[in-house]
Structure 1
Amino acid sequence: MKMQEENYQGKIKVLFVTATTKGGGAERMIFNIIRSLDANHVVRLFVTSDEHIPEVYKTENIQCLNADKQHAMSAFPKLIKDLKHYKPQHVFTTSSNIGYMIILAKKILRADFKIYIRCAVTPSEIYQSDIRTIGLNYVNRFAYNSADLVIAQTDFMRGDLIDNYHIKPNKVKTIRNIVDSSFIQSQSFQNKCIELKSDDYNIVACGALYSVKGFDLLINALSGLLKETNRHLYILGEERYEPGYRSFLQSEIDKLGLSQHIHLLGQKVNPYPYFKKANLFVMSSRKEGYPNVVLEALTLGVPVVATDVVDWTGVIKDGKNGYIAKKNNVDSIKEALVKAFNTEFKMESETIENYNYNELFN
Structure 2
Amino acid sequence: MNRHNSIAFIINSLEGGGAERVMCKLLSIMEPYFTQHQIHVHLVLLDALAEAHECPDYVNKITLNTEGSLVQGYRQLKPLLKQLSPSLCLSFLTRSNMLNVVLSHQLGYQAVISERVNTSSHFPGGLKDTISKVMVKATYPRAHRVMAVSEGVKADLVEHFNVKEDRVQTVYNPYDIDAIHELADKPVDDLPQNAYIIGTGRLVKNKNFRLLIDAYAKSDVPEDLVILGQGDQEAALKEQVSRLGLSERVHFPGFKSNPYPYIKQARYFVSTSNAEGFPNAIVEAMCLGKAVVATNCESGPAEILSGEYPLHIEQFTPSQYGCLCPVNDAKAVADAMDFLNAPTELARYSAKSTERAQAFSNEIFRQKMMTCLDLTPGAEDTVYVPAG
Q: TM-score range by the shorter chain?
A: 0.7 to 0.9
CA change 1:17–1:269 in 2 (3 A) is farther
* Residue 277 of structure 1 pairs with residue 254 of structure 2: no
Counterpart of 1:51? Answer: 49
CA change 1:117–1:264 in 2 (3 A) is farther
3-state SS, counterpart of residue 107 of structure 2: coil
Match of 2:292 among 300, 304, 308: 304
3-state SS, counterpart of residue 328 of structure 1: coil
User: CA offsets, 1:78-137, max 9 Å, x none?
Assistant: 433432343333322231222112233334xx4233222222333443565531221011
Match of 1:65 among 62, 66, 77: 62
User: CA offsets, 1:35-88, max 9 Å, x none?
Assistant: 221423254332233335436x55433443333454253444443343234333
* Residue 253 of structure 1 pairs with residue 241 of structure 2: yes
The percentage of counterpart residues that share the same residue type is: 21
Mean Cα displacement is larger for which, 264-273 or 275-284?
Answer: 264-273
Kept in 2: contact 1:226–1:258 (CA 8 A)? no
3-state SS, counterpart of residue 324 of structure 2: strand
Kept in 2: contact 1:204–1:234 (CA 8 A)? yes
Letter in 1 for 2:273: S
Letter in 1 for 2:289: G
Kept in 2: contact 1:49–1:66 (CA 8 A)? yes
Kept in 2: contact 1:306–1:325 (CA 8 A)? yes
3-state SS, counterpart of residue 352 of structure 1: helix
Counterpart of 2:97? Answer: 99
Runs ≥4 in structure 1, deviation > 4 angstroms? 9-12, 126-129, 224-227
Q: Any unmatched runs of 5+ in structure 2?
A: 35-39, 308-317, 376-388
Counterpart of 1:195? Answer: 190
3-state SS, counterpart of residue 217 of structure 2: coil
Per-residue deviation at 1:297? 1.0
Counterpart of 2:110? Answer: 114
3-state SS, counterpart of residue 7 of structure 2: strand
Kept in 2: contact 1:12–1:40 (CA 8 A)? no
Counterpart of 2:334? Answer: 334
Kept in 2: contact 1:202–1:234 (CA 8 A)? no
* Matched ranges for 1:8-27 at <5 A: 12-27=5-20
* Matched ranges for 1:62-211 at <5 A: 62-73=59-70, 74-107=72-105, 110-126=106-122, 128=124, 130-189=126-185, 191-197=186-192, 200-211=194-205
Kept in 1: contact 2:11–2:45 (CA 8 A)? yes
Per-residue deviation at 1:252? 1.7
Per-residue deviation at 1:161? 1.3
Letter in 1 for 2:43: L
Letter in 2 for 1:65: I
CA change 1:140–1:62 in 2 (3 A) is same
Structure (1/2) with the larger helix percentage:
2
CA change 1:257–1:66 in 2 (3 A) is farther
Structure 1: how far apart are the matches of 2:88 and 2:43?
Answer: 12
- What TM-score, normalized to structure 1? 0.82
Structure 2: how far apart are the matches of 1:23 and 1:233?
Answer: 22
3-state SS, counterpart of residue 278 of structure 2: coil
Aligned-residue Cα RMSD (Å) equals 3.0
Kept in 2: contact 1:116–1:150 (CA 8 A)? yes
3-state SS, counterpart of residue 312 of structure 1: helix
Per-residue deviation at 1:314? 6.6
Letter in 2 for 1:338: D
3-state SS, counterpart of residue 176 of structure 1: coil
CA change 1:129–1:291 in 2 (3 A) is closer
Match of 2:370 among 353, 358, 361: 358
Kept in 1: contact 2:282–2:292 (CA 8 A)? yes
Match of 1:295 among 254, 274, 283: 283
Structure 2: how far apart are the matches of 1:118 and 1:65?
Answer: 20
3-state SS, counterpart of residue 10 of structure 2: strand
Match of 1:268 among 249, 252, 256: 256
Count of matched residue positions in the alignment of Structure 1 and Structure 2: 343
Kept in 1: contact 2:305–2:320 (CA 8 A)? no
Letter in 2 for 1:333: V
Structure 2: how far apart are the matches of 1:303 and 1:271?
Answer: 16
Per-residue deviation at 1:235? 2.0
CA change 1:98–1:341 in 2 (3 A) is same
